[in-house]
Structure 1
Amino acid sequence: MKAVIFAGGTVDDYRLQKKYVVGADIIICADSGVRHAFMMGITPDLVVGDMDSVVPEDLNRIKELGIEQETFAAEKDFTDTELALEKAYQRGATEAVILGGIGDRPDHSLANILLMVNFKKRGLEVRLAGENWEMFLIEGQVQISGKKGDLLSLIPLSREVSGIETRGLYYPLKNETIPMGTSRGISNVFLGDEVMVRTKKGLLLAVKLART
């Protein structure tokens, strides 16, 4: 089951990001993320948060459209984005895409990246996406689609990630270990349309950047 989460961060091109909504089983907006959904012409299934940054126009539209709304106190122990992910998890989602998850609040942006780790442990695969980039986690083996010239960075989120092997990248990795806190895996390059990444132990953050 696929969930799409609209957070309140930056969305520059609604046309390019609308592709991520295709196939969504549930659409949840975290607070002011509802503005992004409305700008895409999308009616969400649920809006959650403290509603402190939702403009009156959007609040009225939520009521007019009869959209389910769950309002929480402004003083709470989790962000609105985490709350939206929790609701997606509770409703059976096994994968989620966050749009607007990166913005001009570096603390929120970093928290959203680390939320992927928390929910992966619980069985919900989360990725962050933008106009020409995606972030997701790798543990084990994955195939990644792209185009020749696209960039792929592999960043350890464990103390170290061992047994890293890649195919289809300009700088191949062969049973290598990368410790946390180094830039060894930054800015590798797709040689074609498909890349394989395999790890034996540890968790990688993958950042794929499409070359335009």
Structure 2
Amino acid sequence: MRAIVFANGEIRDLQGAKELINPGDILIAADGGARFCREMDLIPDILIGDLDSVSKKDEDYFQKAGTKILKFEPRKDETDLELALLHSLSLEIEQIIILGGLGRRWDHSLANLLLPALPALDSLNISFWEEGQWIYLIRNEIEIKADRGSTLSLIPLGGDAEGVNTKGLEWPLIDETLVFGATRGLSNKVLQEKVSIKIKKGKLLCVYGAKD
């Protein structure tokens, strides 16, 4: 099962975001991410958070429309997005696409990008989307359907990524180590419609679709 999670960042391409949604997807609004549901004329299945960024009018609107509302106290240890991801574990969800995960608040953007590395979320396949760009967390291996000539970058997360192997890229990596903090994995080029990436140890953030 797949979920679309709306975070309270920015979505510049609302139409492109809406086209990602498939029938049967679970729609989860993390607090202020509910505004994107209103703008796209969508009714989320779940609205979760302390709701400090949701007007009483919108809260009532979604509740009457059948949205399940999970309201938390403002003084809490988790962000609303983290609450949304943790709650998804109880819904037998396997894949999550986060929309609005990045924005003007660098602290929130960085924290959001690190959330998929939370051990409690290891069972979830989590990705971010914004204006045609994707960000994936790779724990072991991934295969991506890609456009030839597009850009793909690999960024070590939390330490070195060891035993990195790639196929379908202009500059292949063969059992190599990408050092945490170094930029060697940036701006590779896609040669084939399917790109495979495997690692033996560590974690990688894969950024695909960036424009030069």
Residue identity matched to 2:67? I
Show the 5 A alignment for 1:152-171: 152-171=152-171
Show the 5 A alignment for 1:39-50: 39-50=39-50
Moved over 4 A (4+): none
Tell me, in whole angstroms, the C-alpha distance in 2 between the residues paired with 1:189 and 1:140.
21
Tell me, in whole angstroms, the C-alpha distance in 1 between the residues paired with 2:101 and 2:139.
22
Shifted more, 162-171 versus 113-122: the winner is 113-122
Shifted more, 124-133 versus 56-65: the winner is 56-65
Q: C-alpha displacement at 1:17, in angstroms? A: 0.9
After superposition, give the CA deviation of every residue in 1:53-85 in whole Å (9 maximum; x if it has no partner): 113442232133132111111111000001111
Tell me, in whole angstroms, the C-alpha distance in 2 between the residues paired with 1:24 and 1:182.
41
After superposition, give the CA deviation of every residue in 1:184-203 in whole Å (9 maximum; x if it has no partner): 10111111322121212211
- Report SS of the residue matched to 2:113: helix
- Report SS of the residue matched to 1:123: coil
- Report SS of the residue matched to 2:88: helix
Q: C-alpha displacement at 1:140, in angstroms? A: 2.5
Which residue of structure 2 lines up, in the alignment, with residue 78 of structure 1?
78
Which residue of structure 2 lines up, in the alignment, with residue 21 of structure 1?
21
Tell me, in whole angstroms, the C-alpha distance in 1 between the residues paired with 2:102 and 2:36.
13
Tell me, in whole angstroms, the C-alpha distance in 2 between the residues paired with 1:68 and 1:172.
47
- State the TM-score, normalizing by the size of structure 2: 0.93
Tell me, in whole angstroms, the C-alpha distance in 1 between the residues paired with 2:98 and 2:191.
28
1:138 aligns with 2:145: no
- Report SS of the residue matched to 2:20: helix
Which residue of structure 1 lines up, in the alignment, with residue 185 of structure 2?
185
How big is the alpha-carbon RMSD for the aligned residues of Structure 1 and Structure 2? 1.8
Residue identity matched to 1:122? D
Residue identity matched to 2:124? L
Residue identity matched to 1:136? Y
Show the 5 A alignment for 1:1-212: 1-118=1-118, 121-209=121-209, 211=211
After superposition, give the CA deviation of every residue in 1:135-190 in whole Å (9 maximum; x if it has no partner): 11113332211111211110111421111121211222122111111111011111
Residue identity matched to 1:200? K
Q: C-alpha displacement at 1:96, in angstroms? A: 0.9
Tell me, in whole angstroms, the C-alpha distance in 2 between the residues paired with 1:191 and 1:157.
25
- Report SS of the residue matched to 1:115: helix
Compared CA separation, residues 121 and 14, structure 1 to 2 (3 A): closer
Tell me, in whole angstroms, the C-alpha distance in 1 between the residues paired with 2:36 and 2:75.
24
Compared CA separation, residues 24 and 127, structure 1 to 2 (3 A): farther
After superposition, give the CA deviation of every residue in 1:109-141 in whole Å (9 maximum; x if it has no partner): 111111101157531121111121111111333
